[in-house]
Amino acid sequence: MIIKSIDRLSRNYNDIVVQWQSITKEIGADIFVLDMELLDARAKGGDLTRTLIADLVLQVMAYFAQAERESIHQRKAEDIAAASAKGKHLGRRAKPLPTGFLEP
């Protein structure tokens, strides 16, 4: 499996770790992350040091993926609250019902 970035696997820390383990250990498939060459499950041969480094990088990148997701969510909520406080309309404007449309 080739993925562009680890946050494409998931944006939740635990989900990333669980998915990685499930794919590599249970299914036995290899994963290669294009933007992080250290995350390459294709390397075989039982290199303990490489496995340790990949596991550490996975943990750190999974943390940053979730932290970024939470930051985006918080900024979005703050922007919505600020817009609402200014009286700005959020979302699509309602269209008038067509003539002859029966209202419930």
Where do runs of H (alpha helix) occur along the chain? 13-21, 48-85
Q: What is the pLDDT of residues 33-66, one digit of tens each?
A: 888 777 777 766 667 777 777 788 888 888 888 8
Report if residue 103 sits inside a domain: no
Report if residue 102 sits inside a domain: no
Higher-scoring residue by pLDDT: 103, 1: 1
Report if residue 28 sits inside a domain: yes
Report if residue 52 sits inside a domain: yes
The yes-or-no verdict on residue 77 having pLDDT over 90 is yes
* Domain total in the chain: 1
| Other CB atoms within 10 A of residue 41 CB | 18
Report if residue 96 sits inside a domain: no
**pTM for this entry:** 0.61
Report if residue 93 sits inside a domain: no
Give how far Cα 97 sits from Cα of 89, 92, 100, 102, Å.
Answer: 20, 15, 8, 9
pLDDT (average), residues 1-20: 84
Q: Kindly report the backbone phi and psi dihedral angles of residue 33, in degrees, each rounded to the nearest multiple of 5, phi listed first.
A: -100, 115
Q: What is the pLDDT of residue 51?
A: 74
Report if residue 39 sits inside a domain: yes
By residue range, what is the domain housing residue 67? Answer: 2-85
Q: What is the pLDDT of residue 103?
A: 65
The yes-or-no verdict on residue 99 having pLDDT over 90 is no
